[in-house]
Amino acid sequence: MFIDVADLKKSYRSDAVVNEVLKGIGMKLEKGEIGVILGPSGSGKSTLMNIIGGVDRGDSGRVVVDGVGVSSLSDDKLTDYRREDVGFVFQFYNLVPNLTIGENIEVVSNISRAPLNTDEVLAAVEMLDKKHRFPRELSGGEQQRVSIARAIVKNPKLLLCDEPTGALDYETSRSILRLLQQVNQKFGTTILMITHNAAIAAMAHRVFKLRSGEIAEASVNQTVVPAERIEW
Amino acid sequence: MAALNRRIFRILKANALRYIGVLLLIILGSATFIAAAGVSQNLAALVTTFTEGHRQEDLSFSTDKAIPDLATLEKESDASIEEYLSFDSALSDSLTLRLLSKTEKVNIPAVIEGRALAGPGEILLDPAFAKANGYPVGSQINAAGKTYNVVGFMSLPHYIYPLKNVYDIMVSPDNFGVGVISREEFADIDNAASIYSVRFNDRTQSLNSQAVQLRERLHAAGITESDWIDIMNNKRARMAWASITGLKTMSIPLPAAMFLLCCLIIGIMIWRMIRREAVIIGTLYAQGYRRRELMRHYLTLPLLLALTGGVIGSALALPSIAPMVTALVSYYNVPVTDIELSFVNVLIGILLPVLFLGVSSYLVIRTELKRSPAELMKGDEQKAKVNALERALKLERFKFSTKFKVREQLRSISRLIFLLLGVIGVSVLMLFGFTIMSSFNYVFNSSTADTYHFEYEYAFRELQSGEAPAGAEVFAAGRFYPENNEGIEFYVSGIEPESTLLTLKDSKGNPLPNNQINITKPLADRLGIKAGDSVNLINKDDGKPYIFHIDAVAESYVEQFIFMPIGELNAKLGLPANSYMGLWSTRKLDIPDEQLAGTKNLSELPSAMDEMFRSTASMVAAMTMVACVVGLIIIYLVTSLIIEENRNTISLFKIFGYRRREVRSLILDSSTLVIVAGFIIGIPLVAASFGAMYGYLGKMINLVLPTIISPLYVVVCFAAIMLTYQFSKLLCAKQVDTVSMSEALKAGTE
């Protein structure tokens, strides 16, 4: 198993209130697969993804990614893990506004041990001609393409996407989903995606439905649909 | 509104360090300005009040016989002329007390402790002499064969700097002092010298021409004068004036500039902080708050800071003025009677930050409030904007960290200006003090040692003739000023054409021959003349014009002089061919004291300089300290602004796997370039401001200094600035570390 999560628990404490966000989550994803986590707001999707991505830590349970026990890594090792193995795509792109598109990609390639060629990655997301532009000069969809390019330039083992189409219109969303599917196919990158949109589950190999911090339903999709055929 | 106003204290509390920095900057700026302005005004007032109130002489002279009808001469000359008596009483082998008769019209003594003379056997002493030799008020002193009761201490307008001879360099209260006794006491003293002091009544007319006319009247009455010394050349009076004018000149512009800079920097700082509040302003606006309510709310914080800083600054500065003035004039005998604390200065000290911060905040808030609530609530508009400079930059060939740092600095032009101005200001402040030290050091040590190769200079009372003793050379000197500018006075000195005791050099360092007319650089600069020019000069003694053809300009800052062969000068002035006024000698000569108007021992120069440097060095140390503190605050404020404005980027870096030191380096080191640039820009600025200041000093006190920016001190200043920078980075590092990864993860979702 590429991702193996078992009995993962996480709670947040503020003053006297304890908020149990993850209540013993278990999930598995094979290498090269696309996994989709579906669930309403507050169901614990982002927390689960943050723990898998090494941005946060669980209170208990097991999180193993490609044979590495993420939950037991030291802070420094966790940094190395994010640096080398994980790519992030955010709902609101999170590009650095005062860096050009090319430079935004360099933010990540700059620290990677064996990054892909920036131009090739930009060409792959069809953004090479915008390399010298600034984020503000691009549409939302274009910015998300850059965000994907930035995430894959390090050639990560795992690509984590937090609502990648949440801020985009229908057509743009479909093109982004198509791009993610291409990345998965072209680079063999394992992708774990969070979304509210149940229709997106059609392009995933595995689907996990979260409700109130628990996996309500986990299913394997036998007929993965090409992204361009998804409709909602 | 009340609920909203509670925010102000919470904002202050949440960003305590930053606001303490702003407050400190206002306090420092305001306190330095008020203190400097107060000191400067009081210094000037003290000297002017004293010299005018106690009627300082314009000139003094002795005569071969008593002036028969003084009243008529006074009337004809429109002057107060008063004769006083002077007798040097040797109290021991090394201690002389000069007894002077009390005057009523000119050089009136000011009693600064004890009481005035009231009866026989009473004396007023110069306080430094009394202190050095143990004569408190109420004690007795034996002088000129008589015992006097010390009834008080006094200051004399023509003995502010009590030198034994007018050409001496340093006062020495252990060896010499002045006492005032009533004229009647002189009845028992033989051989007292009689000296006339003159003060012209018409202060608007040229004092030089009035002096020339007075001299002509004396000659017409068959009286020959000697020891003619006008106040401009009397170091006993001029030294204090020169020094105090110098202090005054330097004490105002620098603190004023620093104060303005502080206000400007804080203005920019507040401006940026308000812009960052756009979302909250928009939200409040949307919920029905009126513009003026929001304006009032957002003005409260800067005004509160400005007012608090101004008041604390004034409170700190006011009590320090009197001790500072006293300390600065302690070198001189000037009565520190009344130190005034200027209400206007305090008002400026408080109102200037209020005005600056108030206006800049008002303008920013007004601009913000012109935008619609919806636009304001978007908030990230400003963040995403890219300015023309950022757009124009082509940085492809640089590595990522360089690109990021350059872009980070150019992200905000106002922030960049704020940091650049701050560093320039701090560099100038630091270099200023060191440059003063270098300039003085160059003039008094290197330049003097390179030019003069004698140890003693003897100036005679009367014209001498004949050969100079072995190891000595003769010189003559006449006091001149250019036509139409009496403010510039200098000596034209006649020297031996083959002189080995004076070496002047040209700008390339080659020695100039002494058998030609050479002018020193500072004088040439002031007169605006160059080699090959002819210059028309008026002789102060006879008021006649003379033409001098200048052969070369000597790169020597020793003093303002024209040097020429003594024979030519004597011939020009109609003096006997082999006559001279003084001697330069490599050894001490045995010349009777009564023949001498003054002796200058060049070996005293280093100790005189030490004395002077002691106060200069402490001033430099204080300036460097202040500069470091200001620098620290400015760099800290900018760096925390950068961190604040980059929280999302820092957070992103952490998510992407940047290590702690990598994030710190990208964010905190981005200012290095600006700091180095600011320092480099500061160097020519210091040179330019010194040019201007020295030019002013030259006009005011006849002192021209070269601007010497010593490479060693530049390195010292640079090191101090870089250390300050490193320290501020250390303070800010924690702020970078505390930015959490969740900030970028939640970005845009709130």
Q: pLDDT tens, B24-46? A: 888 988 888 888 888 878 877 88
Same domain for B744 and B607: yes
Same domain for B364 and B286: yes
Q: Does B593 map to a domain?
A: no
Q: What is the pLDDT of residue B749?
A: 46
What would the pLDDT profile of A22-60 be if each residue is shown by its tens digit?
Answer: 999 999 999 999 999 999 988 999 999 999 999 999 999
Q: Does A134 map to a domain?
A: yes
Same domain for B630 and B712: yes
Closest partner residue to A88 (CB to CB) among B383, B411, B655 is B655
Q: How confident is the model at residue B699 (pLDDT cuts 50, 70, 90)?
A: low
Q: Does B598 map to a domain?
A: no
Please state, in angstroms and rounded to a whole number, the distance separating the CA atoms of residues B557 and B439. Answer: 10
- DSSP per-residue codes, B301-359: HHHHHHHHHHHHHHHHHHHHHHHHHHHHHTTS----------HHHHHHHHHHHHHHHHH
- DSSP per-residue codes, B204-253: SS-HHHHHHHHHHHHHHTT--EEEEEEGGG-HHHHHHHHHHHHHHHHHTH
Same domain for B244 and B186: no
Average pLDDT over residues A61-87: 92
Q: Would you say B85 and B186 are in contact if contact means Cβ atoms under 8 Å apart?
A: yes
Q: What is the pLDDT of residue A132?
A: 92
Q: Which residue has the higher pLDDT, A219 or B601?
A: A219
Residue A20 pLDDT more than 70? Answer: yes
Q: What is the pLDDT of residue B277?
A: 81
Q: How confident is the model at residue B230 (pLDDT cuts 50, 70, 90)?
A: confident
Q: Would you say B635 and B672 are in contact if contact means Cβ atoms under 8 Å apart?
A: no
Q: How confident is the model at residue B739 (pLDDT cuts 50, 70, 90)?
A: very high
Closest partner residue to A107 (CB to CB) among B383, B390, B656 is B656
> Which strand (E) or helix (H) includes residue B441?
helix B413-441
- B30-49 b/e with 16+ CB inside 10 Å = b? bbbbbbbbbbbbbbeebbeb
Q: What is the pLDDT of residue B355?
A: 85
- DSSP per-residue codes, B628-666: HHHHHHHHHHHHHHHHHHTHHHHHHHHHTT--HHHHHHH
Q: Which of A32-46, B270-284, B380-394, B703-717 has the highest mean pLDDT?
A: A32-46
Q: What is the pLDDT of residue B558?
A: 65
Same domain for B465 and B443: no
> Cα dihedral sign for B446, B448, B454, B456?
negative
Please state, in angstroms and rounded to a whole number, the distance separating the CA atoms of residues A169 and A147. Answer: 17
Q: Would you say B636 and B728 are in contact if contact means Cβ atoms under 8 Å apart?
A: yes
- A106 and B400 in contact by Cβ < 8 A? yes
Q: What is the pLDDT of residue B630?
A: 83
Q: Would you say A126 and A174 are in contact if contact means Cβ atoms under 8 Å apart?
A: no
- B368-390 b/e with 16+ CB inside 10 Å = b? bbebebeebbebeeebeebeeeb
Q: How confident is the model at residue B517 (pLDDT cuts 50, 70, 90)?
A: very high
Same domain for B682 and B568: no
| B398–A contact, CB cutoff 8 A | no
Same domain for B379 and B394: no
Same domain for B324 and B273: yes
Please state, in angstroms and rounded to a whole number, the distance separating the CA atoms of residues B246 and B694. Answer: 9
The domain boundary, picked from B176, B204, B232, lies at B204
Same domain for B311 and B372: yes
For residue A56, list chain B residues with Cβ-Cβ distance below 8 A. 741-742
**DSSP reduced 3-state for B555:** coil
Q: What is the pLDDT of residue B247?
A: 65
CA angle (A63, A69, A70) in 5-degree steps: 70
Residue B512 pLDDT more than 80? Answer: yes
Q: What is the pLDDT of residue B594?
A: 76
Same domain for B567 and B524: yes
Helix axes B343-370, B253-276, angle to 10 degrees: 30
* Phi, psi dihedrals of residue B516, rounded to the nearest 5°: -140, 180
Average pLDDT over residues A151-178: 90
CB count, 10 Å around CB of B309?
A: 28
Q: Would you say A35 and A51 are in contact if contact means Cβ atoms under 8 Å apart?
A: no
Residue B7 pLDDT more than 90? Answer: no
DSSP 8-state code for residue B452: B
C-alpha distance from residue B628 to each of B437, B566, B747 (Å)? 19, 53, 38
- B403 and A88 in contact by Cβ < 8 A? no
Q: Does A125 map to a domain?
A: yes
Please state, in angstroms and rounded to a whole number, the distance separating the CA atoms of residues B642 and B408. Answer: 8
- A79 and B384 in contact by Cβ < 8 A? no
Which residues form the domain of B637? 389-447+603-750
Closest partner residue to B656 (CB to CB) among A50, A83, A135 is A83
Domain count along chain B: 4
Residue B345 pLDDT more than 50? Answer: yes
Same domain for B528 and B429: no
Average pLDDT over residues B462-479: 88
Closest partner residue to A80 (CB to CB) among B383, B407, B657 is B657
Q: Does A203 map to a domain?
A: no
Same domain for B293 and B171: no
Six token digits for residue B721: 């600035």
Q: How confident is the model at residue B542 (pLDDT cuts 50, 70, 90)?
A: confident
Q: Does B270 map to a domain?
A: yes
| B648–A contact, CB cutoff 8 A | yes
CA angle (A151, A156, A158) in 5-degree steps: 95
- Minimum Cα–Cα distance from A166: chain B residue: B749
Average model confidence (pLDDT) across chain B: 84
Q: Does A95 map to a domain?
A: yes
- A110 and B401 in contact by Cβ < 8 A? yes
**DSSP reduced 3-state for A186:** helix
Residue B336 pLDDT more than 90? Answer: no
| A171–B contact, CB cutoff 8 A | no
Q: Does B301 map to a domain?
A: yes
Q: Does A118 map to a domain?
A: yes
Q: Does A91 map to a domain?
A: yes
Q: Does A223 map to a domain?
A: no
- B101-137 b/e with 16+ CB inside 10 Å = b? bbbeebbbbbbbebeebeeeebbbbbbbbbebbebeb
What would the pLDDT profile of A2-18 be if each residue is shown by its tens digit?
Answer: 999 999 999 988 777 88
Q: Would you say B73 and B217 are in contact if contact means Cβ atoms under 8 Å apart?
A: yes
Average pLDDT over residues B316-344: 81
| A12–B contact, CB cutoff 8 A | no
C-alpha distance from residue A54 to each of A196, B613, B657 (Å)? 22, 63, 10
Mutate to test the interface with A, among B393, B400, B413, B642 (most CBs of A within 10 A): B400
Q: Does B211 map to a domain?
A: no
Percent of chain B with pLDDT over 90: 30
Q: How confident is the model at residue B591 (pLDDT cuts 50, 70, 90)?
A: confident
What would the pLDDT profile of B424-442 be if each residue is shown by its tens digit?
Answer: 888 888 887 788 778 777 7
Q: What is the pLDDT of residue B750?
A: 41
CATH number of the domain bearing residue A116? 3.40.50.300
For residue A82, list chain B residues with Cβ-Cβ distance below 8 A. 655-657
Q: Does B218 map to a domain?
A: no
What would the pLDDT profile of A132-144 be if each residue is shown by its tens digit?
Answer: 999 989 998 999 9
Q: What is the pLDDT of residue B496?
A: 93
What would the pLDDT profile of A166-209 be if each residue is shown by its tens digit?
Answer: 888 888 899 899 999 999 998 899 999 999 899 999 999 999 99
The domain boundary, picked from B385, B401, B417, lies at B385
Residue B330 pLDDT more than 80? Answer: no
| A97–B contact, CB cutoff 8 A | yes
Which residues form the domain of A52? 3-198
The domain boundary, picked from B174, B204, B234, lies at B204
Report residue B483 CA to chain centroid gap.
Answer: 29
Domain count along chain A: 1
To the nearest whole angstrom, how far is the Cα of A216 from the nearest Cα of chain B? 25
Q: Does B749 map to a domain?
A: yes
Q: Which residue has the higher pLDDT, B334 or B486?
A: B334
Per the document, the length of chain A is 232
Please state, in angstroms and rounded to a whole number, the distance separating the CA atoms of residues B394 and A132. Answer: 9
Q: Does B213 map to a domain?
A: no
> Which strand (E) or helix (H) includes residue B383?
helix B381-384
Q: Does A210 map to a domain?
A: no
Percent of chain A with pLDDT over 90: 69
Residue type, position B394, single letter: K
Q: How confident is the model at residue B445 (pLDDT cuts 50, 70, 90)?
A: low
What would the pLDDT profile of B102-141 be if each residue is shown by its tens digit?
Answer: 999 999 999 999 999 998 999 999 999 999 999 999 999 9
